[in-house]
Structure 1
Amino acid sequence: MKRSPMKPGKPLVRTPFKRTSPMPSTGMLSVQSHQRTAPKRKAGLKSKGPVSTPIRRAARGQDCTLRLTVCNFDPDTTVLCHSNYLADGKGMGLKAPDTAAAFGCSACHDVLDGRRPRPADLSLAGLEAAFRAAVSHTHEILRSMGLLDAAPAAIQPTLEHP
């Protein structure tokens, strides 16, 4: 960048911008001789990474339960696919709980999370229905592994006799 020469008679004007390069050494002490340090990070703002839970670890090596038309049928790529629906607890900056998730291969997970286009023959309602069925099947597998409690029995209404 070319600098324009100083014009005589024009006063110097201070700008609100800070200097980006250090001043050349003139042998005099500068007012800002101390070094600046980065501000300390506030505790609790962000986690350091995903937390591995027993249910998430259980997905390793399992068959995909989503089984969309793009499924790669590779158990090595299977992970726990969390729900993207608000009703399941998903929110801004929040992941749905592990109980609202299904085992899915990388290809099905990409469609579910929107990283890959949905197949033309699959509507949004169809995708949600497939996900709900996969969650149900995943719950059966987790119960057999002992990682999920048995389904609660239906509550029977009690009749009071006068």
Structure 2
Amino acid sequence: MMQRHATLQRKTPLRAKKPMAHTGRRKHKVAGHHDRKLLDACRGQDCYLKVPGICPHIPNDPTVVDCHGNWADTGKGMGIKAADRFSVPGCAPCHYWLDFGTTATRAEKRTVFFDALARWEEVRDAHVISIEAA
């Protein structure tokens, strides 16, 4: 016959000495990583990753978002997204391939990403300057 154990009971109740302070809006973990203008420049753009065999090449694709690099030299770390200056517009299939795709090596992904970044930087910088001038 199995014996039933009594449920464990705490002798003293859990009580905080003081309520937790509300810190307001959460800050980015690394100063200088976040730049809203660089992310906003990706809106309405075509996919720059253009992964062969993956990208559907849809004009005005609504799935295009900013895709960040996944390497330490782009500022990526454990629990930290890469710096916003290392982001390019990419459609959903290309973004998935970059982050999770198993059909390519890290070196191939890196080559595609940095080629796209080189093409995007000229367009992005001109776009950011035109927004600031307005």
1:113 maps onto 2:83 in alignment: no
1:55 maps onto 2:35 in alignment: no
TM score, norm. by length of structure 2 = 0.68
Structure 2 counterpart of 1:65, from 48, 61, 64: 48
Equivalent residue number for residue 18 of structure 1: 10
Q: Which amino acid in the other structure matches residue 103 of structure 1?
A: P
Structure with higher Rg: it is 1
TM score, norm. by length of structure 1 = 0.57
CA distance in 2 between counterparts of 1:147 and 1:139 reads 12
Instruction: Give the alignment's Cα RMSD to 1 decimal.
Output: 3.7
The percentage of counterpart residues that share the same residue type is 30
Higher relative contact order (CA 8 A, sep 6+): 2
CA distance in 1 between counterparts of 2:7 and 2:46 reads 64
Q: In structure 2, do the counterparts of structure 1 residues 47 and 143 end up closer, same or farther at CA, with 3 Å as the change threshold?
A: closer
Segments of 5+ residues of structure 1 without an aligned counterpart are: 5-12, 20-30, 149-162
Q: After superposition, give the CA deviation of every residue in 1:98-143 in whole Å (9 maximum; x if it has no partner).
A: 11111111111111111xx343xx4332221111000111101112
Count of aligned pairs = 118
SS in 1 for 2:89: strand
Q: Which amino acid in the other structure matches residue 124 of structure 1?
A: R
Structure 2 counterpart of 1:92, from 47, 66, 78: 78
CA distance in 2 between counterparts of 1:100 and 1:123 reads 20
Q: Which has the higher helix share?
A: 2
CA distance in 1 between counterparts of 2:87 and 2:129 reads 13
CA distance in 2 between counterparts of 1:60 and 1:77 reads 10
CA distance in 1 between counterparts of 2:107 and 2:84 reads 22
Displacement after TM superposition at 1:15 (Å): 6.5
